[in-house]
Structure 1
Amino acid sequence: MRRFLFEGADLRGESTRVDGALAAILQNHQYAPGVRDLLGEFLAAAVLLATTLKFQGRLTLQARSSGQVPLIMAECTSDLAVRAIARGAQEATASGFEELLSEGQLAITVEPERGSRYQGIVPLQGESLAASLDAYFEQSEQLHTRVWLACDGSRAAGLLLQQLPSQLTPDPLAREAQWAHACTLAATVSREELLALEPAELLYRLYHEDPVRLFDAQPVRFSCSCSRERSRQALTTLGEAEIRDILREQGSVTMDCEFCNQQYIFEAQELLPGQIDPLH
């Protein structure tokens, strides 16, 4: 991920390309090409949106639908650790956004390490995730934000533009002109260019006549937040009676993380400590 600023204008941007982290996620699941590409776009979008966080925490981008993909989500922390998954999409055959996520809702959830959780939910709109995100930001009271996304199955990429609070350009008409100029040029980028070009080359291709400051690259990495303790805590929600039934039938309780396929096996004494005979 690389951040950039427009010198002399209240505009910022982010450019990301995700390949190694995407490969690590896809090796754990067998997705159809359409689902795989959609998951890559969700992943790139989560990275771009997480860069807007002003605190330590995580951002989750999730969609539920009546289409061939009932649920899809991507998560990115403030230090660019990512994970993603599509659930219930084993039979998906479509490649189009509207078929995969028909009658869907998009939720953006922000969870700071300290502070209150926030979630915004809007209907999925348009013919792409990028169009739905653009509509989300248009409906919110936030500053102008536009997103461009692409994925070819082995690499995901994205570009974000965002208007900043008025500092350098106080005149509203001038601010709108700057925003329109930046978006018009960004809209000329092709899917192939977004996926193939390095951020520096992409920005030169788009804005070689504008003074743009490009910051150092930050790595995006796959990391799952699952743990043995978190899995054990999740099991406690089943209740003691159900845990006992599983232990009697299987001798232990197994939990698999659907994000990374890590398996956690719990014996009776770990789930029902201090009991002489946990199975009775």
Structure 2
Amino acid sequence: MVAPDPVDARLLAMLADSGRAAVHEIAQRLGMDPREAAMRLITLSGSGLPLLVGVECDPNGIRRALANAAAYGNYQGPPPSGAYAVHQSGPHHVSGPHPVAPPQPQPGPQSQPFPVQQQPPPNPWGPPQSAGWVRADQPQPRPMSRTGKVGTTLEADSLEGARLSIQLVEVVDPADFLFTAAGYKLAEGERAVVVHTEVTNASQVPFTSLPDMYLVLVTRTGETVTKAPVSLSSRPAHKLGVQPGETAGGHTVFVLPDTTDLTQVRWSVRPEVDVNTLVWTVED
């Protein structure tokens, strides 16, 4: 096998760490275009590596999407992707040399009304990046609450389109006794915090990420504290993914300076804050 270039090596290293991941997640973590990541992985798979690149879908959802598209006319596939698009205007019959039409007299200029701007037809596939595959003329989902307090259940959509209900069950602060009971040792001036969350997948789309991958604590000064790479035997950590209809719970451990004042717990599907970011206020 030819040695991979640096980009391929980064892809393989990321995949080796997770063992199984969606292409768009790997691309997101590496800051790549998902299409480039997919093409590279497919090429690497064909080079003899023990690597399988697949695709997964909701069969019923795809069938509904095709039915919705048919309601707007015959679906003829995506537009050509080459440098020269092919214009289709109906069947063409070739029967020999084209006859030359005699020149026709050109009429004089005539006054024409201003053309009426045509509205684009509604997208039969639904809103972009939507996993609901709803038609544009159907009512959109109700707004979801993005803020709450400890004990509140908030809703968000995953990158794959899974509808998630996330409850902040408990914040144990300080949790030094749990941390030391698990065999770990805190440095002078540090304290441990344990956050318990439960994630329910209320859709038919699997949630394939680690539920607390981007769960952080927010301090009074606006700084964020990321989770510590430890797990407690008495407080099990989250496992990868939540299947449709399932509820999965887990505990996330944080280690921070003892004097740090916490105000919020924040959950996101991406490293950065976006429309799916959830925030719980932590009361003193």
Q: Which has the higher strand share?
A: 1
Question: Do both share a fold (TM > 0.5)?
Answer: no
Higher relative contact order (CA 8 A, sep 6+): 1
Q: Which has the higher helix share?
A: 1
Q: TM-score, normalised by structure 1?
A: 0.23
Q: TM-score, normalised by structure 2?
A: 0.22
